[in-house]
Amino acid sequence: MNETTETAESIEEQDPRKTFLRDAVIFHGKLLLDGLRDFILFPVTLVAALVDLVQRKDPPGRHFYDVVHFGRETEHWINLFEAADRAPPSEHPRPNIDGPNLDDFVDDIETKVKDRYEKGELSAAARETVEQIMKAARKAIDRGQS
């Protein structure tokens, strides 16, 4: 039996109030660590993306995605919401973590904007903004392929 299993078993055997207090304290420590990680990742990902745009090397975004992978690893390591596994039963329904997320929302908006753009249903200002974004994206892609 390893230390993690022994720790988990000893936590479950404790008074529920002690378990709750322990979880609350650890959660807030993890929350601070998670916030610090995000605070650091914000400028680092921006710099990595800029370096990738300027260097024009294949594959595009290599530095940016390396930082994103690092972020995912630290997210797994921090395991911010692990205490939810010990939450007592509740009268309130638990969130469906397999349901839609922010990426789904962004994809949906992107699809709707593209559809309206192709059908000519966007206002002139919105159409101009979309065209500018698309031109900038094409330029970045073309530079990356040169």
Ranges 15-19, 37-41, 118-122: which has the least confidence: 118-122
CB of 133 within 8 A of CB of 114? no
Q: Is residue 2 pLDDT above 70, yes or no?
A: no
Query: Does 3 or 84 have the greater pLDDT score?
Result: 84
What are the Cα distances from residue 144, in Å, to 17, 56, 57? 56, 4, 6
Provide mean pLDDT across the span 25-36: 97
Calculate the average pLDDT of the chain: 83
- pTM over the 0.85 mark: no
CA atoms of 135 and 138, how far apart (whole Å): 5
What are the Cα distances from residue 11, in Å, to 6, 25, 89, 100, 119? 9, 14, 17, 33, 59
